[in-house]
Copies of this chain bind each other. A is one copy, B any other.
Amino acid sequence: MAATYKDIQKMTGLSLSTISKYFNGGNVRPDNAEAIKRAASELDYRVNSFAQSLRTQKSKTVGVLLPDLTNTFHAQIISGVSLDLMHAGYGVIVGSFGESEESMDDAVEFLLSKMVDGLVVVPTAAGRLPVALQSASNGHPPVVVLDRTPSDDVDSVTVDNERAGLDVGRLLLAHGHRSIGILAGPQGLSSTSQRAAGVLSAFSEVGADVPDANVVHTALSVEQARQAAHGLLTRTDRPTSIFATNSELTVGAAIAIRELQLELPGDLSMVGFDNVDFARALPPGLDIVVQPVPEIAHAAAELLLARMEHAQDGQVAHRVLQCSMMRGASVGAPPLAVRSVR
């Protein structure tokens, strides 16, 4: 059995309230403090956080919820958020659902039943908030939404995706490209859609038409992206450039390119997203858009801490950060003639 105050009481003869005060930083006579300390370590005492939270109605814990632990980008972010939060004295419990709305709801229920003091959520691609969190005034704990923006009335941290897309488009245009294929992720996913939209508006600025067929929607999986890229790149009117709008899509596109033995940037120019290490390893060095991961994590932690410690008042905050480009060597002039593959 785990030790409790009562056990310490037996060893020290002190009252429960004194022991409690000791553990909560109150004033206790030095000799008593010493006695409690000794007893505690002797008994391997550990506070029972259930009892504590039941009593105080606070868990000093925040929940982090994301679609997929396997996504390196999300993993990096929550890794940063966790650090900040732990630093502020909060425990962090991470849960994942599988891009399925139903299990997202279950996961939220689970966290709420743990009475988390706050929640960081990356919603499903479909862009719906968990039902339990939908009514802002329903007394649920504060929530910060990351990466994807399902609704206006909840705090969020996102990046300027449209702008990032615009930059990508302009880069490719500057190199002379007038055709592009875009791996645009799932229909309705705000982040990837906005990135694609940015490219499209850059192209339309110069009157370069991008046919609908060049914007391919898939789930956020490497394999689906590979297939989509394969389809795009084996067309006779293959685009001279390709843009992958997130990390999985980037990897999938790279696989297709390797399988088709296309050379970057000789046969094709490519711009990817997010995956710095991958971009550095892939010959000839991949041009990618990089999100400011540490800043995103920081902003999220900051927003949430503010809500948890001060009252639930104040305006809804939408922090929007800027991406940057990490240049590689995968963007060059379009080929004079499209070399056929397969």
A290 CB → nearest B CB, Å: 15
Q: Which residue of chain B has the shortest Cβ distance to A329 in the bound complex?
A: B258
Q: Would A1 and B82 be within 8 Å (CB), given that A54-B51, A113-B49, A278-B281 are in contact?
A: no
Is the Cβ of A69 less than 8 Å from the Cβ of B50?
no
Of the residues B44, B79, B114, B258, contact of A70 by C-beta under 8 Å = B79
- A residues 125-150 with Cβ under 8 Å of B? 138-139
Given B51, B54, B69, B277, which contacts A251 in the complex, CB threshold below 8 Å? B277
Copies of this chain in the oligomer: 2
Q: From A93-101, A176-184, A200-208, A298-306, give the one contacting chain B.
A: A93-101
The answer on a CB contact under 8 Å between B277 and A258 is no
- Separation of A216 and B284 alpha carbons in the complex (Å): 26
CA distance A76 to B266 in the complex (A): 35
Distance A83 CA – B106 CA, assembled complex (angstroms): 13
- CB neighbours (8 Å) of A72 from chain B are 70, 72, 75
Q: A95-B93, A113-B49 are in contact. Are A258 and B278 (CB under 8 A)?
A: no
Say yes or no: B115 contacts A94, CB within 8 Å.
no
A323 to chain B, nearest CB (A): 20
Chain A, interface size: which category? 35 or more
Answer whether residue A282 sits at the interface, using C-beta atoms and an 8 A cutoff: yes
The interface bits of chain A over 276-301 (1 if a CB of B lies within 8 angstroms of the residue's CB, else 0) are: 01101111110000000000000000
Q: How far is it, in angstroms, between the C-alpha of A68 and the C-alpha of B197 when the chains are bound? A: 35
Complex interface: chain B residues within 8 A of A277 (CB): 222, 251, 255
* Chain B, Cβ-Cβ closest to A2: B139
A92 CA to B63 CA in the complex, in Å?
Answer: 12
Give, as a whole number of angstroms, the nearest-CB distance from A95 to chain B.
Answer: 7
Per-residue B-contact encoding for A247-264, CB less than 8 Å = 1, 0 else: 000010011001000000
- For A54, give its contact among B50, B95, B98, B278 (CB under 8 Å): B50
In the assembled complex, how far is the CB of residue A176 from the closest CB belonging to chain B, in whole angstroms?
25
